[in-house]
Structure 1
Amino acid sequence: MTRPQLTYRSWATALAALVTAAATALIGPAAPAQAAAVTFTNPLAEQRADPHVYRHTDGYYYLTATVPEYDRIVLRRATTLQGLATATERVIWRRHGSGEMGAHIWAPEIHFIDGRWYVYFAAGRTEDIWAIRPYVLESSAANPLDGPWVERGQLQPARSSFSLDATTFVHNGVRYLAWAEYAGSNSNIYLARAVNPWTYTGTPALIATPTYAWETRGYRVNEGPAVLIRNGRVFMTYSASATDASYAVGLLTAAAGSDLLNPASWSKRATPVLASDGRTGQWGPGHNSFTVAEDGSDVIVYHSRNYERYLGNGYDPLSDPNRRTRIQRVYWNADGTPNFGVPVPDGLTPVRLRSHDLPDRYLRHWEFRARLEPNVTNLADSQFRIVAGLSNASAISLESTNYPGYYLRHRNHQVWVERSDGSALFRQDATFTRRAGLADATKVSLESVNFPGQYVRHRDGLLYLEAVPDAAGRASATFALD
């Protein structure tokens, strides 16, 4: 790594810290429990792909990921998710100089199992860099950054073909191992019951194979399984297609009481749950993990690039180092299924404004009119970034997530989401003073800067800017930040 690159990273890290500090100032001091969602600043880490975050009982979050040199395993920890952005990173293991585990060190994951730390990773051989298999490291250290680490070798029984992306989870008291493996022309996902962290028993069950068009762009791929167990179901995300801008996240679902080793227990969603989005400037989201934020909300950790490139014309995505670790909140639909929305724009992550007096309803835009609705399955319609006020930096503006450059603004006392035309009037109409919630001080109300005493409130399902002299009006002008 050259000195200019290190200097740039140091500058970028410092800038991210400043942005986070500014965002904290905009959102305000910590509110009482459950009053506001934790927000993050993306990207969390430059040139870190296939990210895996583990939240441990010692109060730390641990992050490991693929480095672009494919030659080592790195680890960092922090007491907050955002703190991982600036945490010191340590090399805990390096590839062998020759032979097995000597090439293509990919996709590490860290887990704590029965009092010991384990890292799952993929590796090739120096004499055949594509002879990739899953391997396991073990450490009994209290702090896994300190090590030492013992090589437990290849996942056992040893796989005989290209295989990678091993992960582990426990469900109904049973530990499972899942991984991706090449078979014929496909990379499929397999599941087996674990005997110990590096050994499985029985014939692995093939639970997913690429069949849809969006899973077969460039290559026929299902890989990178990650598990989230909620609401009486086992959800397994996976990544599909080539690792360029075609890369996307899919979803498998099984009932919590079903036999997970029976392929018939799993259903696959026909469309991706997270995919490239030109409006938000993120391409190729994939290879994710899950963790829980400090406020108890579920979080997806994944990588993407901030430019659009595809296989061909000499472009090789595996030689492109610029996949970046990113995080954002997972929301839940009324039917109990996860909603990942879109890969949010770089910068501060968005929030949703949930009505105080109609708590199942959220502020969202529809044909650019702001309204209040329940069950917003097109999640990004209801997500807004809190940014410095367009006309007054000490106030705030709310920028649309799926229409960057569009802001919540009032016009003729109706509230819309519209693109800034740069005029002084627009900037004023789109700037609000954040107040403690008029009906609940742990929440928020939005007062117009150019019409003091008038607030964003809902009425008959639509949003207006009006005075709110009575209790009902104050309740309709109060929102929780989720």
Structure 2
Amino acid sequence: MSLSPEPLIEQRADPWILEHAGCYYFIASVPDYDRLEIRAADTIAGLAKAPATTVWRKPDTGPLRELIWAPELHHLDGVWVIYFAAAPSREIVDGLFQHRMYAITCTAADPIAGPWSEPQRIETPLESFCLDATTFCHRGRHYYVWAQKDPEIAGNSNLYIAELAGPDRLAGPPTRLSVPEYEWEKRGFLVNEGPAVLKRHGRLFLTYSASATDENYCVGLLWADADSDPLDATSWSKSPTPVLESDTERHIFGPGHSGFTTSEDGTTDLLVYHARTYTDIQGDPLWDPNRHTYVKPIRWDDQGFPDFGRAGEDTLVPARDAQ
């Protein structure tokens, strides 16, 4: 008998929950990888039964015609932005898909109602596989963090940061923050991806995911002092061990692509992530639809560092009725 906790939302990978003006918004990769859809509810648990509205669908031709991955919804200076990755085909070249990063924007009060702009590509100095963009604001400046392949560095992807000049444009050259170096970052594939940033206790905390997208997938952590320059790579320290990994006792495997939100009363920081409940995956894990969305509380130690606990414990239960 499985001991797996119930997921918040089934078959939604790369989950992202944004709280804005008392409403929670949810966006994630859908199993068909063909569209961007948003849910909204008054509570996090209510997202489980909230209707999903498609706000953009991939075209039949062109550079965005395949594999719509890892969307995130943000609200930047009054503008809604969805960052996502798309590819021109399902072809793998030199061991990698051909994704690039894009943004769509909306100036309406309600992002579900739209309308949304046409996608704009986020240009970076490297012309290579890239994905998993996120953003955060710190001391009045907006920063963009993402994963990208450097042809000069072994592996699939590294983590980069740059300041934003606008929702879809970098203000300057990027800084490389992290490359796969530890054994747990290189199981199956050499991967650093899926970054997310949380500001707490005088520090910037950046979680990311590492290794192949099977039971080896796990979460790592970088951190920097809030008074330091986020664009200076030396500002950041890196945990030598993962901070969240498979919980075999509770049948939660490959936790990763994490993000953050807060409880309705504002007292508890929450980790949002996806995971599977089994390890027997047929074929490439990317085509297995059963990565589910989970939410769990974050605890803080005496030094002001996050304690994510075990992946399957203290999981938020979904609401039974729509909210």
Same-fold call, TM cutoff 0.5: yes
Counterpart code for 2:84: F
2:77 is equivalent to residue 114 of structure 1 = yes
Counterpart code for 1:239: S
2:154 is equivalent to residue 185 of structure 1 = yes
Counterpart-to-counterpart distance in 1, 2:194 and 2:289: 19
Aligned residue for 2:248, secondary structure, equals coil
Which residue number in structure 2 is paired with residue 176 of structure 1? Answer: 143
Counterpart-to-counterpart distance in 1, 2:238 and 2:229: 16
Could you say if the C-alpha distance between residues 156 and 320 of structure 1 is closer, same or farther in structure 2, counting changes exceeding 3 Å?
same
Counterpart-to-counterpart distance in 2, 1:167 and 1:112: 12
Aligned residue for 1:273, secondary structure, equals coil
Report if the CA contact (8 A) 1:182-1:188 is conserved.
yes
Structure with the bigger percentage of helix: 1
Superposed counterparts of 1:38-437, under 5 Å: 42-57=6-21, 59-126=22-89, 128=91, 130-157=97-124, 159-183=126-150, 184-186=153-155, 187-296=157-266, 297-309=268-280, 315-345=283-313
Deviations 1:297-344 (A, max 9, x none): 10010000011247xxx6310010000000000110010000000112
Bigger radius of gyration among the two:
1
Report if the CA contact (8 A) 1:245-1:309 is conserved.
no
Q: Please report how far the alpha carbon of residue 280 of structure 1 lies from its aligned counterpart in structure 2 after TM superposition.
A: 1.5
Q: Please report how far the alpha carbon of residue 141 of structure 1 lies from its aligned counterpart in structure 2 after TM superposition.
A: 1.8
Counterpart code for 2:260: F
Report if the CA contact (8 A) 1:121-1:166 is conserved.
yes
Report if the CA contact (8 A) 1:133-1:159 is conserved.
no
Aligned residue for 1:83, secondary structure, equals helix
Counterpart-to-counterpart distance in 2, 1:173 and 1:189: 22
Deviations 1:259-288 (A, max 9, x none): 111111111001110000111110000001
Deviations 1:362-382 (A, max 9, x none): xxxxxxxxxxxxxxxxxxxxx
- Aligned-residue CA RMSD (Å): 1.6
Report if the CA contact (8 A) 1:281-1:345 is conserved.
no
Aligned residue for 2:251, secondary structure, equals coil
Counterpart-to-counterpart distance in 2, 1:98 and 1:50: 25
Q: Please report how far the alpha carbon of residue 125 of structure 1 lies from its aligned counterpart in structure 2 after TM superposition.
A: 0.5
TM-score (norm. length: structure 2)? 0.91
Aligned residue for 1:264, secondary structure, equals helix
Unaligned runs of at least 5 residues, structure 1: 1-40, 350-482
Q: Please report how far the alpha carbon of residue 295 of structure 1 lies from its aligned counterpart in structure 2 after TM superposition.
A: 2.4
Counterpart-to-counterpart distance in 1, 2:293 and 2:85: 19
Counterpart code for 1:66: S
Unaligned runs of at least 5 residues, structure 2: 318-323
TM-score (norm. length: structure 1)? 0.61
Counterpart-to-counterpart distance in 2, 1:252 and 1:127: 32
Report if the CA contact (8 A) 2:209-2:220 is conserved.
yes
Identity %: 48
Q: Which runs of 4+ in 1 moved over 4 A?
A: 345-349
Q: Please report how far the alpha carbon of residue 201 of structure 1 lies from its aligned counterpart in structure 2 after TM superposition.
A: 2.1
Report if the CA contact (8 A) 1:49-1:66 is conserved.
yes
Counterpart-to-counterpart distance in 2, 1:264 and 1:113: 27
Counterpart-to-counterpart distance in 1, 2:251 and 2:89: 37
Counterpart-to-counterpart distance in 1, 2:91 and 2:211: 23
Report if the CA contact (8 A) 2:89-2:98 is conserved.
no
Deviations 1:141-184 (A, max 9, x none): 21111111102411134751000001110111111001000123
Aligned residue for 1:203, secondary structure, equals coil
Counterpart-to-counterpart distance in 2, 1:76 and 1:101: 23
